[in-house]
Structure 1
Amino acid sequence: MRNTTIAFRSVIIAIGAIAAIMIYLGGCGGGGGVSASTGTLKLAITDKASDDFKNVVVCVKEIRVVPAGHETASDDDPALPVLARFTPKEGTFDIMALQFIQTPLGEVVLPAGTYSQIRLVLYPNPKGNQAPVNYLTLNSDTGTKIPLTTPSGQQSGLKVRGPIEVKAGVINAFMIDFDPNTAVVKTGNGNNNGNNNEYILKPTGIRLIHMADILTQFGSIIGNVSNALQNWSSATVSIKRRGAINDTTPIASGQIFATYTSGKWQAPFSAFVPPSDPNDLTSGYKAFINANGFVLYSSATVPVVQGQARDLGQIVLVPQQ
């Protein structure tokens, strides 16, 4: 598998085969509309290509938003607003089909404030010999549906960490990004249908990204953040425009979380942004990576081409002295 993988995506609300579902909460300041004390949270989903997988299919039952301080609440807790509910047909997503495409999931009016998680509650795979609803197929064997094991996915839901800041009076657009190369983990040594071999879907490969703009055209900036000697735990990645526009506020930002693999603490990232102006050679983007205890990383200004990924390669964090 490639080590550099996609972690951030842009948001496009207008496209996608799945219709967005709106569920407005009663008692949220304006009683259903956006007011001075409420904001609209919009959510979409996307994914990247994989070396090994042809299809990675998940069947989402519902999506809940978790306010800060309610991280241990059960999924049926009324304090957890429901962003969307799906029938099995509506909630079936082949995330491998979403590279450079975004599918809207829904939107909800919420009290302004901080939310810590998005929970994806999945339909369970049927028992017996029935076809699984959460499954993958391999590029080497596209005809075999291999069940995906989704620990807690049907009970407490797949927990996608924030934080999510919902600002009053505006639309707050977020993207759920699946990276199959880190979200899907193979265990055991059996064959694809044997009891000693299974594929587990883990939330560590699912990320939540805040985008400043809703994009209709975009490319991406990708890279892999690492340090072999010191665990950096988590980092904030921010992308800012440079050239005719010099941002102080990032056009895309989000957190990445280190895992210890291949002898180092590392995590991939990517940011989806509008393509650079081909008529302006100074047009581009800078990536900033901020981790506690490490020197702030700042990339060179790089251009981005529509539908292509600009790879910054391995980024080794330098400890502060």
Structure 2
Amino acid sequence: MNTQRRLFAALAVAGLTLLTACGGGGSDSGSSTPMNAGTLSLSLTDAPSCGYDHVNVTIQKIRINQSSTASDTDAGWTDLTLAPAKRVDLLTLSNGVLASLGQIPLQAGHYSQLRLVLAANDTTNPLQNSVVPTGGAEVALTTPSAIQTGIKLNADITIAANQLADFVLDFDACKSVVSAGASGKYQLKPVVAVTPNYISGVSGYVDASVANGNTLVSVQQGGVVVKATAPDSTGKFLLQPVAPGSYDLVVTAPGRANEVVTGLTVTASTVTTLNAAAAPLVLSASLNGTAAGTVSTGTTPIDANVRALQTLSNGDKVEILSRTVDTTTGAYSYALPVGGTMVAAYVAPLGSLSFSADIAATAKYGLEASSAGVVKTAGPLTLSAGATTTTNFTFP
């Protein structure tokens, strides 16, 4: 357990988390601890954002229920209330940093639903939820009406009597903040995963020349990002918590060729050290091609996400970039490297990595658009330097 995690645990145990408990559809049930209770501890973390210097959200409470289908007025809710509400800059919560949200006693059992309740922007506090675009001024985030009843999060949490269940709300600011076109407005459409607070993870270094806030390091399985972060100013990255297993580690940066380490092994209760500061991952310079288009019903833009993926010669798929389309126009535009995608097989912690260009993946991308649970694909597309390849997606 690292020093930072010990500090968070100590603060939680010392009771410095200012919470109250209530239940039965939100009505006050007093502060007594349930019989055969365990304890749920919650923290907040974030994946790196894209094009923003700050993303602020203000959390009022987190609601917990055993039923995945319970409405906000049904019985069985227990609330972890933050008093006062906690305003958090999500972009400070990457590279292994966690913010404690508190602990709450719960009856032993299985819990399938959490609701994240945000404070609303109002005339008194117009920037409780806000964003600062890179190079721009702070503007309010338009928040969904669901903030009044809580943004529904699927969970898989088992509480055992007299034991602590430690979980993390992993907020993806990049996918959660959506541009509303030329209006200059931004909408918050939260994408949050509820994951166990594993001690295990991955650490390493990228070259300092790309340690500029725009580089993304992620671990993935089957083209799905499990955890992502931006290296700090020294090039160091820490991906934690990450469940034990085998992963592809993917490094992307503007104007650089993609880099992938395949078969990286994460073991229980261990942070796997990929490489040392003296042997950082060095990404080659690359020209870009552009994948662009719109997502619509044919006549009307719709809410959607578009991913760009590559398929390696060993058959592994890796996500290179994922964004939510413009809510006003349905447009997306991705600058993607056309230089050789560099791939190395993982050997051992601090082992020597041997990278070579993967011809099967170089300059070739598949696109995947998703909306309301429906997924459409295109490609593989072969991009050319300085050219734009247009792909439009139409949903029924």
Shared fold per TM-score greater than 0.5:
yes
**Cα shift at 1:223:** 2.7
**Cα shift at 1:183:** 1.6
1:239 counterpart letter in structure 2: P
Q: Are residues 93 and 77 of structure 1, via their aligned partners in 2, closer, same or farther at CA, if it must alter by over 3 Å?
A: farther
**Equivalent residue in structure 2 for 1:117, among 113, 118, 135:** 113
The answer (yes or no) to whether the contact 1:238–1:250 under 8 Å persists in 2 is no
Measure the CA separation in 2 of the matches of 1:25 and 1:130.
Answer: 26
Q: Does the alignment pair 1:138 with 2:133?
A: yes
Structure 1 partner of 2:152: 159
1:45-104 alpha-carbon deviations (Å, 9 max, x no partner) = 1223323111111111111112124x3411x5452101223324xx11111122232111
Measure the CA separation in 2 of the matches of 1:168 and 1:302.
Answer: 39
Q: Does the alignment pair 1:176 with 2:174?
A: no
Structure 2 partner of 1:262: 307
Structure 2 partner of 1:282: none
Structure 2 partner of 1:210: 196
The answer (yes or no) to whether the contact 1:260–1:266 under 8 Å persists in 2 is no
Match of 1:45, SS state, is: strand
Measure the CA separation in 1 of the matches of 2:222 and 2:305.
Answer: 9
Match of 1:13, SS state, is: helix
Match of 1:50, SS state, is: coil
1:139-194 alpha-carbon deviations (Å, 9 max, x no partner) = 211xx22111221343221222212222222100001111211121223333x2xx
Using structure 2 for the length normalisation, give the TM-score. 0.48
Q: Are residues 171 and 50 of structure 1, via their aligned partners in 2, closer, same or farther at CA, if it must alter by over 3 Å?
A: same
Structure 2 partner of 1:73: 71
Q: Does the alignment pair 1:200 with 2:187?
A: yes
1:276-295 alpha-carbon deviations (Å, 9 max, x no partner) = xxxxxxxxxxxxxxxxxxxx
**Equivalent residue in structure 2 for 1:98, among 93, 111, 125:** 93
Segments of 5+ residues of structure 2 without an aligned counterpart are: 205-216, 227-241, 247-265, 272-303, 310-316, 321-344, 351-360, 367-396
Structure 1 partner of 2:257: none
Measure the CA separation in 2 of the matches of 1:53 and 1:26.
Answer: 37
**Cα shift at 1:136:** 0.6
Q: Are residues 40 and 108 of structure 1, via their aligned partners in 2, closer, same or farther at CA, if it must alter by over 3 Å?
A: same
Higher relative contact order (CA 8 A, sep 6+): 1
Structure 1 partner of 2:79: 82
Match of 2:140, SS state, is: strand
Q: Does the alignment pair 1:45 with 2:44?
A: yes
2:186 counterpart letter in structure 1: Y
2:166 counterpart letter in structure 1: A
Measure the CA separation in 1 of the matches of 2:270 and 2:197.
Answer: 6
Q: Are residues 163 and 266 of structure 1, via their aligned partners in 2, closer, same or farther at CA, if it must alter by over 3 Å?
A: farther
2:52 counterpart letter in structure 1: F
Segments of 5+ residues of structure 1 without an aligned counterpart are: 1-9, 193-197, 253-258, 269-298, 305-313, 317-321
1:223-280 alpha-carbon deviations (Å, 9 max, x no partner) = 34556xxxx9x9xx84259xxxx96x7879xxxxxx8523679879xxxxxxxxxxxx
Q: Are residues 97 and 26 of structure 1, via their aligned partners in 2, closer, same or farther at CA, if it must alter by over 3 Å?
A: closer
Measure the CA separation in 2 of the matches of 1:80 and 1:162.
Answer: 14
The answer (yes or no) to whether the contact 2:117–2:148 under 8 Å persists in 1 is yes
Number of matched residues?
231
**Cα shift at 1:114:** 1.5
**Cα shift at 1:107:** 1.0
Measure the CA separation in 2 of the matches of 1:262 and 1:152.
Answer: 27
Give the greater-gyration-radius structure (CA).
Answer: 2
Using structure 1 for the length normalisation, give the TM-score. 0.58
Measure the CA separation in 1 of the matches of 2:270 and 2:77.
Answer: 29
**Superposition RMSD in Å:** 4.3
1:207 counterpart letter in structure 2: A
